[in-house]
Structure formats: C-alpha cells, structure tokens
Amino acid sequence: MSPDLAAARILLVEDEPSLVLTLSDRLLSEGYQVETAGDGERGLEMAIGGSFDLVLLDVMLPRKNGFDVCRDLRQRGLQMPILMLTAKGQVVDKVVGLKLGADDYLTKPFDMMELMARIESLLRRARTPIAPAAGNYAFGEITVDFRRVEVVRDGVPLDLSALEFKLLGHFIENRGEVLTRDRLLDEVWGYDSTPTTRTVDVHVASLRQKLEVKPAKPQFILTVHGRGYKFVG
Ligand code: CA
C-alpha cells in the first residue's frame, strides 16, 4: 500500500470465520485499519456509524444480505466505496450489485493480490479531488455539507464566514497537497482583490480555531514550513 492510503479504515462484513481471519490479517499487514461484522444488520449499523473509507461486503450474509446492506447505505447517502464479494457462479450478482450502488465486485475464491489491488484503486479513486457540489465531506468529527453550505461538529453547526467556507472547500478539494499562500490567494481570494499573504495566515488561523481540537497543534490544516499549508483529513 502506498503511504497516502495509510490508515484507511476498512469495514469487513463477512460471516465465514476463516475468511474473516485471513482477510483481516492481510489488511492489517498492509497497514489498513480493519473492523469486522459477522452479519448484515451489524454491518449496516457499523458502516453508518463508523466513518469507514471502504466496505468489503459479502453477498450471502445472515440477517440481511449484502445487496440490501449496499442499497440501504446508498439510500442513506453514504458514499464510501463498496466492494462486494460474491460466491462463484452468481453471475447475476455483478449486475444487481452495481445497480444497487456497489463500486466493484470480486468472485470467491479470489486472489489476495487481486483484492488488495482493487481496494487500493477504489481508495485512490475515492480520494481524488471531489467537486464541492458533490455533497458531504467528513473528517474527524466534522462534516462539511457543500450543498447546504454548512459545517457541523458532532451535530453542532459551526459558524464559518463565507470566505472561511470557501477556503476550507479548497483545502478539501486539494487535500494532501501543499498549497502555497500565493496559490491560495489566487484560487480562493481571486485576482481582483489585493490581500497579502498575511491575510491567508489570518484566515487559516481562524479556521483552525473553529475546526481543530487543539488549534495550536492542528491535525487537519498543517503548516508546511517555508512552503504553505496542507490539509489532511
Ligand atoms: Ca457468506
């Protein structure tokens, strides 16, 4: 796994104990965080509450099958990639699964290398820049709703100015990238205004006050000394 995907959280919903064991061992050894659910209802519950980056979802599950879990997750607006695991010969599964909102599927028994490659590619795709119109983006305990122009922490709305919201949206769109102050001025403030790079620092500081648990030790909007800022989250 490449470092930028490190610490991605994966939910494995699978009822075959031996496969759960093999798969979680392998995922952990690749550096992912893994949680498991042994039936569909539990899987759905965990996926809704757990801010996972990806769900590995078996089709044949006790209590609620994988198709229903997948459909329910999408109906609730959850966007994380879902990779479905189907039993051999269930050709129809692929079509049904993709229709219900799965991003990819693999037929059992699968090659472990193949599964790891698919997971990596789904995570990478999910992390490419999102259009701010795409809906919600969550990091830490914060959710940004681009359509309603709202930022909430743990359900409590945060009071961001329009400019702070725009700046945050820009950080999220370019997450993982170092953004220089000049670039931020161009892309967030625009060419018409003539603020100084100090303006950027002031607004970043104010965003940190509102978003970071410890503004002095930010975990989302990082300073890259001598270069600018980088959003990770
Ligand atoms: Ca099964």
Cβ pair 83, 108 in contact under 8 A: no
Distance 60 CA to ligand 1 centre (A): 4
Predicted local distance difference test score (pLDDT) of residue 203 = 92
- DSSP H stretches of helix in 30-147: 40-49, 66-75, 91-99, 112-127
CA–CA dist 208, 114 (Å, integer) = 40
Distance 51 CA to ligand 1 centre (A): 23
Q: Kindly report the backbone phi and psi dihedral angles of residue 169, in degrees, each rounded to the nearest multiple of 5, phi listed first.
A: -60, -40
Distance 47 CA to ligand 1 centre (A): 18
Closest CA to 9 of 71, 45, 43, 56: 56
- Residue-range domains of the chain with CATH: 3-126 (3.40.50.2300), 136-231 (1.10.10.10)
Packing angle between helix 66-75 and helix 91-99, nearest 10 degrees? 10
One pLDDT digit (tens) per residue for the chain, 233 residues: 555 566 799 999 999 999 999 999 999 999 999 999 999 999 999 999 888 999 999 999 999 999 999 999 988 888 899 999 987 666 666 666 667 788 888 888 899 999 999 999 888 877 755 554 467 888 988 999 888 888 999 888 999 888 899 899 999 988 888 899 988 888 888 755 566 778 899 999 999 999 999 999 999 999 999 889 999 98
CA–CA dist 212, 49 (Å, integer) = 21
Closest CA to 32 of 120, 106, 152, 157: 120
CA–CA dist 92, 228 (Å, integer) = 51
Distance 34 CA to ligand 1 centre (A): 18
